[in-house]
Amino acid sequence: MRKRFAPAALLAGLWLACGPASNGAEEPVPPPPRDAESDAGVTPDVPAPPPDAPPAEVGPLPGPPGADPPGFEPYEPLPESLSLTRVLWKLEGVLVAENLREGVDTALRDIATCLETATAGGRLPMHLIIEASGRVVEVGAPLVDEGLRDAITCAQLALRALRFPESTGDTTVHLILER
């Protein structure tokens, strides 16, 4: 009787020590099929947050503190009568700067209006993701100061109403606002 259980115990001990024969690799599970009607107006990778959701975090500014992050350029000329001292921007995607100028000017006016109640000073990084149809599908900014929560929410609502030119793909506009 002892001889019968010895091989089984040995195999069970090896299995526990080494794990399953798959070496820990798991077979990928395909995503569930998507309904075309439910996808209208929502990009597959970036679901639209509810209107009262807190601002999306975009993380710290790249590069050393106080220095301009790599890849950003001054946005000039700034629209007149802005309460912003300087704006830097960087584009990722298919839209070119000339096609974005009017929309970004409007966005800066909206942001500046929303920031009027916030304390002056500091840098605020933001980003806009514009889908191919020209609709803004995401507005993100870090909540670095509790006093900016209302201003960022105001800017998110205003910027989601903007329309940009249609394109062949999505574009992300990164902005750094200096107040």
DSSP 66-116: TSPPTT-EE--SPPTT-S-SEEEEEEEES--HHHHHHHHHHHHHHHHHHHT
Residue 58's pLDDT is 44
Look up the pTM and report it: 0.62
List the domain range (segments joined by +) for residue 96.
Answer: 73-178
Q: Rounded to whole angstroms, what are the CA distances from 122 to 140, 141, 148, 171, 176?
A: 17, 14, 11, 26, 10
Report cis status (omega within 30 of 0) of the bond before 77. Answer: yes
Residue 14 in any domain: the answer is no
Number of domains in the chain: 1
Share of the chain above pLDDT 90, in %: 36
Q: What is the CATH number of the domain that holds 150?
A: 3.30.1150
In a domain, 154, yes or no: yes
The pLDDT value recorded for residue 152 is 85
Tens of pLDDT, residue by residue over 78-98, are 988 888 889 999 999 999 999
Residue 24 located in a structural domain: no
Residue 129: its H or E element: strand 123-130
